Homo-oligomer: A and B are copies of this chain.
Amino acid sequence: MTLTTRLECIPPADVRLAADSAALLHAMGIAAVHLLASPGAGKTSLILRTAESLSGKVRLGVIQATLAPPAGPGPTPLDALDLPYVQVDTGVQPYLDASMIREALEQLPLADVDLLLIEEIGTLTAPAKQSLGEKVRVVVASLPEGEECPLRYPEPFSHADAIVLNKIDLLPALGFDRSLFYRTLRRLNAEAPVFELSCRTGAGLEDWGAWLVEQVRGDCGAN
């Protein structure tokens, strides 16, 4: 297996749709951030914390992927937020694709959004290099997943533009070997910045927020 194999399987129509979405988002000055993670790593908590800390600085929008639960989609923690969001049921395919994003964009008030967070289904095995039209890809890892998680699920870490290392408050309880994590990660990805934070305590949220604001400013500057 080579890391390019899955990329080659992406239908050409999806590649075109993703390019369209990217052009639309760029034209509207919206930075889209695709969040990838294991189940329970804290994507939704991160969105809630980010909304809190960026309130009044940038206008947030959210696309959240779900696997339809048997009882149908229920209320989500995002309902509590006063921001535009769309929930996308990915159906039998357990990850987002370019056509789902395209449809979701049509339901969002894009003129009111600066930063669009796209929450993937919780999985590290979705095609990681496939473009949805996002500006950057972020892997949300968490301490309980272990120091060598990047080595066992190399694709998303290899192609990430940034890494969030969540649940840093569990460092004492878990005896997590931070330097082993970095050695493992840097074998796959030499450059992506890592944001150590805790959505529970709020520690480390500032640097992450500043990086997101940079993504938005970068887009505005290009217009």
- Chain A interface residues toward B at CB < 8 A: 1, 3, 5-6, 9, 38-40, 66-71, 74, 89, 91-92, 94-95, 121-126, 142, 144-146, 149, 151-155, 158, 167, 170, 173-174, 187-188
Copies in the complex: 2
Interface pair A39/B167, CB less than 8 Å apart: no
When distances are taken between beta carbons in the complex, the residues of chain B under 8 Å from A149 are 39-40
Instruction: Report if A1-B91 is in contact (Cβ < 8 Å); known contacts: A40-B146, A155-B67.
Output: yes
Interface pair A40/B5, CB less than 8 Å apart: no
Chain A at the B interface: SS class: loop
Q: A6 to B5, alpha carbons, bound, how many Å?
A: 23
Interface pair A1/B89, CB less than 8 Å apart: yes
When distances are taken between beta carbons in the complex, the residues of chain B under 8 Å from A69 are 151-152, 154
Residue ID in chain B nearest A71 by CB atoms: B187
Q: A38-B145, A40-B145, A144-B167 are in contact. List 20 more A-B contacts (CB 8 A).
A: A1-B68, A1-B89, A6-B92, A38-B40, A39-B149, A67-B125, A67-B153, A69-B154, A70-B154, A71-B187, A74-B151, A95-B125, A122-B152, A122-B153, A123-B124, A123-B125, A125-B125, A125-B126, A142-B144, A170-B170
Q: A38 to B40, alpha carbons, bound, how many Å?
A: 9
Interface pair A70/B38, CB less than 8 Å apart: no
Instruction: Report if A152-B94 is in contact (Cβ < 8 Å); known contacts: A38-B40, A39-B124, A187-B71.
Output: no
